[in-house]
Amino acid sequence: MDNYATHKTATVKAWLARRPHYQVHCTPTSASWINQVERWFAALTRKRLRRGVHTSTHQLEAAIRAFIDTHNADPKPFIWTKSAAAILAAVKRFCHRVEHHLCHEL
């Protein structure tokens, strides 16, 4: 979980207590590096895996290793390109679309 504070509620604690086989690991709030790891895996999925046809584990592994080799040959840092205001505006638009969609289903 990436935000421990939101998962300390009684409801979440009770849900987890009913599922003792779940092991919860929370990343610290300051661990923004995890976002970069997620972005890297998203790029791997988008650029190499999504439309690939892998008929064996060996082919899948080879595709992943080829991506890593290509990425490491000319690495580029991840850079935020949107302002906080632009991100919040996008979230607001999403919330309005979801709310509109859900209201029509009721």
pLDDT tens for each residue of 13-69: 888 889 888 877 766 655 566 777 888 899 999 998 988 888 999 999 999 999 999
* Same-domain pairing of 14 and 55: no
- 24 and 55 together in one domain: no
pTM, full prediction: 0.48
64 and 47 together in one domain: yes
pLDDT band at 74 (very low <50, low <70, confident <90, very high): very high
Stretch 74-78: mean pLDDT, rounded?
Answer: 84
pLDDT confidence of residue 55: 92
Residues 9, 37 share a domain: no
Token pair 């580029």: residue: 76
Token output for 9:
């509620």
Are 19 and 55 in a shared domain?
Answer: no
Structural domains in the chain (count): 2
Which residues neighbour 39 within 8 Å (Cβ) at sequence distance 6 or greater? Answer: 78
What is residue 27's predicted lDDT score, i.e. its pLDDT? 63
